[in-house]
Amino acid sequence: MLKIGNVKLKNRLVLAPMAGVTNLAFRIVARWYGAGLAFSEMVDADGMFYDIQRRKKEFATNAEDAPIACQLFGARADTLAEAAKRVVDMGADIVDMNMGCPSFKLSRKNAGAKLLSQPELVGVLVRSVVSAVDVPVTVKIRSGWDSVNAVEIARVVEAAGASAITVHARTAKMMYGGAADWEVIKRVKEEVGIPVIGNGDVASPLRAREMLDETGCDFVMIGRAALGNLFIFRDCVEFFEKGTVMVEHTKEERQRALLELWEVCKSVGDARLSDLRMHACWFSKGLTGGRRFREEVGTKKTVAELEELVVENFC
């Protein structure tokens, strides 16, 4: 049985945390298509104490959204611990600690991937959160800050009581460029006893299978490859189980998935024109006439106008 701590998972496929993307609606539909675990957008632990309404919006959840890992970022043990308690009260099945985001916004706060250059602090922070909650605590890291030290960090994380670790196989300095070095994931898996979630350059069912086989990791995390392509989870499940691969998804399939996502956005009260624009552009990539469609998307001023455009162009 697949588990992280005491949380049971139906398969090895994980939806990555992505700021501005993995809201409640996106997570629900990703699960419909086969994701076994989903991560929230990253939530500012400090913000839990001065902008609670915004944090509640960043981490809205419901019964369809399970199991759910809420990702927190911060650099203070006390606020991370208290924030972890709060998100568990809000419905988190797993608390994830962001130690992998390379953005300047986080690094200037000594948070995110910047923590990878401070192994002792990593241990302090993880222990504080583990001791504060009774749900599994996981940590998402990169290969390192500017050089590779993922194995060292993974040992610290495991010793501090974490139930699993995600390794994005690029350093923070690489941002999202260059090739992910899966050898780093393999070395981490060889050195720790907790489950390892591999992340980086998984854009197809074949690549997902290759990551599992080549690194020995327990789960595969998919992020950018799911944008406009929630089918990737279903395709991975079918490939793992039957060895079959869907080569191309039709316009009709894309329209159905996009409108499903949009209906869920409306049902959970998070239907913004900007989000529909974003997803419509992603789902249109690779389609004949997609470029013209994306240009038209930017001209629509209301949700109704944009919905009409989607129906006209995807049928």
What amino acid positions are annotated as catalytic residues? 101
Which pair of structure tokens corresponds to residue 71? 């990702």
Q: Give the whole-angstrom CA distance, residue 35 versus residue 108.
A: 33
- The contacts of residue 264 (CB under 8 Å, 6+ apart) are 25, 28, 29
Whether the CB-CB separation of 26 and 225 falls below 8 Å is answered with no
Q: Give the whole-angstrom CA distance, residue 241 versus residue 220.
A: 15
Q: Which amino acid is at 100?
A: G
Whether the CB-CB separation of 21 and 29 falls below 8 Å is answered with no
Which pair of structure tokens corresponds to residue 125? 């922070």
Q: Give the whole-angstrom CA distance, residue 75 versus residue 80.
A: 7
Which pair of structure tokens corresponds to residue 93? 């099945």
Cβ neighbour number for residue 291 with a 10 Å cutoff = 11
SS3 296: helix
Cβ neighbour number for residue 82 with a 10 Å cutoff = 16
Q: Give the whole-angstrom CA distance, residue 173 versus residue 298.
A: 33
Q: Give the whole-angstrom CA distance, residue 250 versus residue 199.
A: 28
